[in-house]
Amino acid sequence: QKEVEQDPGPLSVPEGAIVSLNCTYSNSAFQYFMWYRQYSRKGPELLMYTYSSGNKEDGRFTAQVDKSSKYISLFIRDSQPSDSATYLCAIDSGYSTLTFGKGTMLLVSP
């Protein structure tokens, strides 16, 4: 079983839709949970960072972590065409390396 599983998509939604992106992980030692956004031809950039179960909100973005189910989610409200990108979950054991999901490509059409 891979350490971090993420549906590659693409996920196509109309502008204004609520988007749900998800990852599952297998290693219960993971402590820190991140979402990165990667635009085409660019490096990934951090979008959300959390280390506990529950929800964290930042504007239109909400990160949700359920450690008991080993499940993390990113919700995007009122999605915009500028949100079109690949979203990568990243999970950190707190030692030396991040484990990335393969990324979900999101396309928001006007």
Partner 1 sequence: EAQVTQNPRYLITVTGKKLTVTCSQNMNHEYMSWYRQDPGLGLRQIYYSMNVEVTDKGDVPEGYKVSRKEKRNFPLILESPSPNQTSLYFCASRVTNTGELFFGEGSRLTVL
User: Across the chain, which distance is largest between two alpha carbons, in Å?
Assistant: 42
> Going by DSSP bridges, is the β-strand pair 85-92/4-6 parallel, antiparallel, or unpaired?
unpaired
CB of 13 to partner 1, least distance (A): 22
Count of residues near partner 1 by CB under 8 A = 22
21 burial type by CB count under 10 A (0-12 exposed, 13-18 middle, 19+ buried)? buried
Query: Two tokens at 19?
Result: 């988007």
Q: Please choose, out of 10-18, 22-30, 38-46, 54-62, the segment that lies near partner 1 by the rule CB under 8 A.
A: 38-46
The region that residue 26 occupies, defined by phi over 0 for left and psi between -120 and 50 for alpha, beta otherwise, is alpha
The answer to whether the CB of 92 falls within 8 A of the CB of 30 is: yes
Quick check: 75 binds partner 1 (CB under 8 A)?
A: no
Quick check: 8 binds partner 1 (CB under 8 A)?
A: yes
- Rule CB under 8 A: choose which of 23, 88, 106, 108 binds partner 1: 88
Q: Which is nearer to partner 1, 79 or 104 (CB)?
A: 104
Quick check: 1 binds partner 1 (CB under 8 A)?
A: no
Sites of contact with partner 1 (CB under 8 A): 8, 32, 34, 41-46, 49, 88, 90, 92, 94-98, 100-103
